[in-house]
Amino acid sequence: MLDRLTRVDFTNLDKILFSQLKITKAQVIKYYIEIAPRMLPLLDKRPLVMTRFPEGIDKEGFYEKDAPLGTPPWVSTFKTYSESAKRELNMVVCQNLDTLVWLANLAAFEIHMTLSRVDAFDKPDLVFFDVDPEPPATYDNALETAMLLKERLDDLSLRSFIKTSGLKGLHVVVPIIEDYTFQQTRDFVHQTARLLAKDSETLVSEYSESKKLGTTFIDYRQNSHGRTLICPYSLRATQKATVSKPLEWDDVKKRLKPEMFTLFNTARIETNPWEDLFENRQRLEVK
């Protein structure tokens, strides 16, 4: 049945990728087909970094920034020079269902997207606040920090969007016009975190403090050229097959847990909180 839906030549569909729940590659592919109408518009024109788990999540996966050998000609790619790798990269750009299904067939089910698009790769159009609690800080602490962050952004007349990371944290983003540098967006996130940290004993804004027990770190460092954000609706390599799930701000309340959103139920949730994300590009007050 899957073969009728796509140009992808499937392999090892019965391969178990999530051992605890016996989730097969076929089930992963089915999930991405079902979620594609909500996911693909958010990936449009964005270079991707893949995390692949060909032997399942019990074995160590690997990052892949380049389109792998044997990439079909119908997969869009984007060439860019990487300062960190000191070489040119040929990155995958997911423009259609076939490409998304092809990624799933590669067991590249953790999909990370850049904060800028191919037609303005040096100009971010997303500002990213990574809210990361350090145990014994809990998910509730992350939720409280996210709400403080929303209040601060509201005060600046900036509309923000939130999602689970699918792991222990939360992601808050602000869509912006493509008129700023990565240094400006990085500084904006860092300065906002510093202001919030001044009034809190457990919220930290500096990487040097991020591993202090019981703190919640607002990480600004991903706001750099070529760095990425786990894609909305991407699966995560957890035994419960959690998903990085976009939320409504009204959903952000105590008792919310990342394992509430998984491969099994996310596609059935009818709401689409990030549907108008890129219809709300905003200006920042930065130097």
The confidence score (pLDDT) of residue 82 equals: 85
CB burial string 137-146: b at 16+ within 10 A, e below: bebebbbbbb
The confidence score (pLDDT) of residue 280 equals: 85
pTM higher than 0.85: yes
3-state secondary structure of 159: coil
Rounded distance between C-alpha atoms, residue 41 and residue 163, angstroms? 16
Q: What is the pLDDT of residues 32-50, one digit of tens each?
A: 999 999 999 999 999 999 9
Residues of the chain with pLDDT under 50: none
Task: Check: CB of residue 178 under 8 Å from CB of residue 115.
Answer: no
Percent of the residues in the chain that have a pLDDT greater than 70, as a whole number:
98
Rounded distance between C-alpha atoms, residue 84 and residue 86, angstroms? 6
The confidence score (pLDDT) of residue 1 equals: 52
Q: What is the pLDDT of residues 85-121, one digit of tens each?
A: 789 999 999 999 999 999 999 999 999 999 999 999 9
As a three-state string, the secondary structure of 188-240 is: HHHHHHHHHHHCCCCEECCHHHCCCCCCEEEECCCCCCCCEEECCCCECCCCC
